Structure 1
Amino acid sequence: MRLVTHRTPSGTRPGAVLSTAHGDRLVDLGDVAAGVFALITDDERMRAARARCASAVVEDLPALVPGDLEAPIVPGKMLCLGYNYRGHTPDGVDPTADDPEYPDVFVKTPNTFAGPNDAVVIPEGARDVDYEGELAVVIRTRARNVSIEDAMSHVAGFTILNDVSDRAWQRRQSQWALGKCSDGFAPIGPWIVTTDDAPDPQDVLVEVVRDGEVTVSQSTSTTIFSVAFVISHISQVLTLEPGDIISTGTPQKLAEAQAGHRPLAPGDAVTVRISGIGDLTTTFIAAPSESPAAPSLPEGTA
């Protein structure tokens, strides 16, 4: 299933998206569970949701309105990988060198989380904001000290992340937090594809399109560390909780895009598309101008 969180006049509700000959249709699941988190963590509710989708009369379902979608889930924490694709290496490192022994893990803080329709504000003074298209893994059950063999049983499904980054801030220090964690720098969505309907996460094509040009195109078959390995590895250090997200890194830009790198600017649009998962399009806007000064009061007032 493709699980979504959609807006209604009475608030947000969980739903599932069905593909039909007439386009995507929405199955509301608000009476099955309070939200997507409850669905992915409760097997009985998930079975009820699947039964609802299986019995739905397509002609009676409303068309999906993409603009009504919010982030499918708000993670408790988001962990991301750096340089997890072969050929993607830090500046000055030989791309043909041996694979690293361990993954390079960093965090995106809660202020970065955003939905599929949220524009990303380019911070005032930012000089080199960039994009990264990534396959992201949503955790279903608590994982602590899990084996590689058991790791995938803890996965609810997959979504898409644009790991927006400020390269100028990132280059200023060995730790990446200030380059990765500006407000809104982690749009996710538009849905979670559950594991029963998802393709093999080690064999999907990750592409990024910037203003109509494909700038990234590489298969997850070229990742250094598999999803199962990463879950097992991280769980040796911290407990992964239901709803947490692990993002699996971005491929290197294509040579022409890399050579012609230009920072994101207001009005730019970036689409991350992953085969079997979907598309996530993010628009970038300028920071709002400073609030105007308060009007002066007439003389003699306070």
Structure 2
Amino acid sequence: MKLGTIRVNGTPQVIAKVKDNSAVAVDYRWMEDLIEAENRGLDTAAKAIEDALSGRKPTIDLTGVNWMAPNPKASKILGCAVNNINLNKRAYKPMTAPMFFTKGRSALTGHMKTIELLEEHGQSINEPEPVAVFGKKAKNVSDENIMEHIFGWTLTNDVTASGVKFSQDSIALKQTADLIKPHHTGWRPRMGEDGEVDTYLLFIYHSKSKAADTFASMGPWITTKDEVPDPNNLRVRGYVDGECYTDDSTSNYYFPVERVLSEASKWFTMEPGDCVHTGTASKGTEKHPRGNIGTYMHNYDGKMTDVEIEGLGKLSNLIDSKFKG
């Protein structure tokens, strides 16, 4: 089953997909309410589809509808950083556990909406990836049991503005020797002569580079988990102006999906409707050998960018870049 949210006359409306370009209204205003209703919510959606197919309920033509993110009220949106074997080939210090960043719901936007890059964002890249949507509260859930807490899967373009990340959102400090601890410098070679105290550190923060408005495009659909038998073997492709710049698979994740979601529940209480980006696609194509790294969005101002994931559908957005460098 595929479920989405559109805006009708200014009001959110949950819909269920009937056929390729048609849907039916489900008796919920907010997706989160349907998710929390568990089987009752799914039964309501299934009945709406049945009624639409039999002509007992009118269908909605999806041409030109006003899409919202599937769950516009997610209390948490987490991203799993650098979770791709291709990106870890150059790791000086390999990851020991999934790494997370957060986005607020103000970063959400929907299918066919505009992704807006400020001049200060600078060079920015697409990151196509699947998103797990939680269906039940989860805290400290094991890898083996975490999928029992998942409602379904959607798509995201996890925009990353590397320009602002390595400028406004980075700071290099020379600390005093008494503040330097082993974990500060364990990841890199020491500088200077033997015995000299190395106190130079670089800190990077991610809010403006990862969580700005429109930087969490999602949708158009949540596909219920019964239709996604193996989230660790999904083909993920990204396009700009119709050209494929990355063709990858979740089988190339550094950490499998279950480990990512279990780790998220260790540090954060995951609630119904919460979203976790499980890892970007990165593997390049013949025309774009570096994949998404180096395929900068500002070079495609005014063009469409798409995320396509096997079984989940296609998410499309217009690029509006104020950065022309």
Q: TM-score, normalised by structure 2?
A: 0.79
Question: Which is worse superposed, 255-264 or 202-211?
Answer: 255-264
Contact 2:236 2:249 in 1 (8 A): yes
Contact 2:25 2:48 in 1 (8 A): no
* 1:48 Cα deviation from its structure 2 partner: 2.3
Match in the other structure for 1:44: 40
Paired letter, 2:17? V
Match in the other structure for 1:105: 100
Contact 2:125 2:296 in 1 (8 A): yes
Question: Which is worse superposed, 34-43 or 50-59?
Answer: 50-59
Secondary structure at the counterpart of residue 100 of structure 1: coil
* 1:277 Cα deviation from its structure 2 partner: 0.1
In structure 1, C-alpha distance between the alignment counterparts of 2:294 and 2:46, rounded to whole Å: 45
Corresponding residue to 1:207 among 237, 241, 246? 237
**Structure 1 segment 241-280 matched on structure 2, within 5 A:** 241-254=271-284, 256-257=287-288, 258=290, 261-265=294-298, 266-280=301-315
Q: Measured at CA, do residues 210 and 53 of structure 1 come closer, stay the same or move farther in structure 2, by a change above 3 Å?
A: same
Contact 2:86 2:283 in 1 (8 A): no
Paired letter, 2:227? D
* 1:261 Cα deviation from its structure 2 partner: 2.6
Match in the other structure for 2:8: 8
Match in the other structure for 1:170: 165
In structure 2, C-alpha distance between the alignment counterparts of 1:178 and 1:10, rounded to whole Å: 29
In structure 2, C-alpha distance between the alignment counterparts of 1:178 and 1:267, rounded to whole Å: 22
Q: Measured at CA, do residues 10 and 209 of structure 1 come closer, stay the same or move farther in structure 2, by a change above 3 Å?
A: closer
Match in the other structure for 2:26: 29
In structure 2, C-alpha distance between the alignment counterparts of 1:272 and 1:64, rounded to whole Å: 19
Secondary structure at the counterpart of residue 79 of structure 1: strand
Corresponding residue to 1:53 among 46, 49, 53? 49
Paired letter, 2:2? R
Secondary structure at the counterpart of residue 40 of structure 1: helix
**Structure 1 segment 177-256 matched on structure 2, within 5 A:** 177-254=207-284, 256=287
In structure 2, C-alpha distance between the alignment counterparts of 1:58 and 1:286, rounded to whole Å: 46
Paired letter, 1:269? M
Match in the other structure for 1:296: none
In structure 1, C-alpha distance between the alignment counterparts of 2:53 and 2:309, rounded to whole Å: 29
Paired letter, 1:62? I
Paired letter, 1:16? A
Contact 2:125 2:294 in 1 (8 A): no
Contact 1:199 1:276 in 2 (8 A): no
Identity %: 27
Paired letter, 1:35? W
Q: Measured at CA, do residues 268 and 253 of structure 1 come closer, stay the same or move farther in structure 2, by a change above 3 Å?
A: farther
* 1:263 Cα deviation from its structure 2 partner: 2.6
Paired letter, 1:65? T
Q: Measured at CA, do residues 229 and 107 of structure 1 come closer, stay the same or move farther in structure 2, by a change above 3 Å?
A: same
Q: Measured at CA, do residues 63 and 110 of structure 1 come closer, stay the same or move farther in structure 2, by a change above 3 Å?
A: closer
Question: Which is worse superposed, 260-269 or 101-110?
Answer: 260-269
Paired letter, 2:5? T
Contact 1:158 1:277 in 2 (8 A): yes
* 1:93 Cα deviation from its structure 2 partner: 3.0
Question: Which is worse superposed, 39-48 or 273-282?
Answer: 39-48
Paired letter, 2:294? H
In structure 1, C-alpha distance between the alignment counterparts of 2:241 and 2:283, rounded to whole Å: 15
* 1:268 Cα deviation from its structure 2 partner: 2.7
Contact 2:120 2:164 in 1 (8 A): no
Secondary structure at the counterpart of residue 65 of structure 2: helix
Secondary structure at the counterpart of residue 143 of structure 1: coil
* 1:109 Cα deviation from its structure 2 partner: 2.7
Paired letter, 1:178? K
Match in the other structure for 2:124: 129
Match in the other structure for 2:187: none
Q: Measured at CA, do residues 111 and 12 of structure 1 come closer, stay the same or move farther in structure 2, by a change above 3 Å?
A: closer
* 1:203 Cα deviation from its structure 2 partner: 1.1
In structure 2, C-alpha distance between the alignment counterparts of 1:254 and 1:18, rounded to whole Å: 35
* 1:138 Cα deviation from its structure 2 partner: 0.5
Secondary structure at the counterpart of residue 280 of structure 1: strand
In structure 2, C-alpha distance between the alignment counterparts of 1:85 and 1:217, rounded to whole Å: 13
In structure 1, C-alpha distance between the alignment counterparts of 2:229 and 2:238, rounded to whole Å: 19
Paired letter, 1:83? V
Tell me if 1:283 matches 2:318: yes
